[in-house]
Amino acid sequence: MDKQQTWPQGVFPARLIELLHKQGSIAAARPFDTDQVQPASLDLRLGDVAYRVRSSFLPGPSHSVAERIEALKLHEIDLTRGAVLERGCVYLVPLQESLELPDAVSASANPKSSTGRLDVFTRVIGDRARGFDQMPKGYKGPLYLEVSPRTFPVLVRTGSRLSQMRFRCGDNRLTVAEHQALHASDTLVFDNDVPVGEGVALSIDLKGANRNGLVGFRSKRHTAVVDVDKKAALDVHEFWEPLHNRGREELILDPDEFYILVSDEAVHVPPTHAAEMVPFDPLVGEFRVHYAGFFDPGFGHSSAGGTGSRAVLEVRSREVPFLLGHGQTIGRLIYERLAEEPDRLYGSALGSNYQAQTLKLSKHFKPYTE
């Protein structure tokens, strides 16, 4: 087929991602899975082998990832029949997808929601990359995934999907005025007291109203293995300690512990836009919030089964105990325009796991009961 020469400005919805694939700009070792293309992102699949490496790295402008792996690898792991990746170790996995991007198209990556909620740290790396999770305009080469389980050992296999990639042409993040205009027309946050400016500010819910005071979960240590491809298979109580509001509406984050919390606000991503969560203040470095930053068009959208959805937050304190209070602002949703109207939305029609969510663990766990 003739290659498209010009690409519209904005984040690419599913149709344009599929067009990139048809034109050879996204190549794959195996045909795409039927549900691999999401409303505004592409799930990335693990290849046949993983390399246990001594450390994380960036290849830099003078080296390929394969050259760095050869220098740093400790051993090679066959993924074709499944393998356990141990917590605290660093692995590099060649992905099944590779890129030959058009000159005007760039890409970025993030862990999938289910990956982040397991505290599995992932980053995509390309050849001669100077940064993680960013593929510059016109990038041509293979893709690799750095995988480092932090809390639970995980069972993965060829084809497991831990990360996702978003494609775009140009910088289409909204200005303050554009965020405010979009909120006026489409209601980005269902709380009249939350100002909309440089995105939508999100705060933490430590009241637990309508959840019998449940405000979050803290991971347990020395658990069994989590199979990343099995849904609703695990008992919550074997992996998580529930946290309840005991009247103080605050929580001290312990160093090196992992928490699942939820935003106080319900948010909405209109069909014409996508969003990404960023730290509210990068100078507040005591804790990390939200591994999986992509919010697809239709998240919290009423016609897609949402009518506002809360943002579930993966939170890990750093080196010191840190006190969180109810209503403390911890992140922002920044919105971007789509390059064209999407032909599918995040939500019930696609079997999306986290539409209309409140406080919810990853899809691997059975529904929580007290």
Cβ distance 327 to 202 under 8 Å?
no
What pLDDT does 317 receive? 81
Tokens matching residue 185: 């027309």
Interatomic CA distance for residues 82 and 230, integer angstroms: 13
The pLDDT value recorded for residue 304 is 44
DSSP per-residue letters across 178-227 = HHHHHHHHH-SBS-TTS-EESEEEEEB--S-TTTTTEEEEEEPSS---EE
b/e per residue, 36-72, with b = 16+ CB within 10 A? bbbbbbbbbbbbeebbbbeeebbbeeeebbeebbeeb
Render each residue's pLDDT in the chain as its tens digit; 370 residues.
556 668 999 999 999 999 999 999 999 999 999 999 999 999 999 999 999 999 999 998 888 999 999 999 999 999 999 999 999 999 999 999 999 999 999 999 999 989 999 999 999 999 998 899 999 999 999 999 999 999 999 999 999 999 999 999 999 999 999 999 999 999 999 877 788 988 998 889 999 988 899 999 999 999 999 999 999 999 999 999 999 999 999 999 998 899 999 999 999 999 999 999 887 665 555 566 655 578 989 888 765 444 678 888 888 887 788 899 999 888 889 999 999 999 988 765 545 554 445 789 999 999 998 7
Q: Helix, strand or coil for residue 363?
A: coil
Which H helix or E strand runs over 31?
Answer: none
Residue with tokens 């009518």: 307
The whole-model pTM stands at 0.92
CA separation for the pair 106, 102 (Å, rounded): 8
Separation between Cα atoms, residue 335 and residue 333, nearest integer Å: 6
Quote the pLDDT of residue 285. 55
pLDDT tens column, 72-127: 999 999 999 999 999 999 999 999 999 999 999 999 999 998 999 999 999 999 99
* 3-state secondary structure (DSSP) of residue 117: coil
pLDDT of residue 192: 72
Residue 262's DSSP bridge partners are: 312
> End-to-end alpha-carbon separation of the chain, Å?
57
The residue among 242, 237, 238, 245 whose CA lies nearest residue 223 is: 238
- pLDDT at residue 191, as a whole number: 78
**What type of residue sits at position 104?**
A
Please give the full DSSP string across 159-170, using - where no structure is assigned: T-EEEEEEEEES
pLDDT given for residue 3 in this prediction: 66
Cβ neighbours of residue 257 closer than 8 Å, sequence gap 6 or more: 218, 219, 316, 317
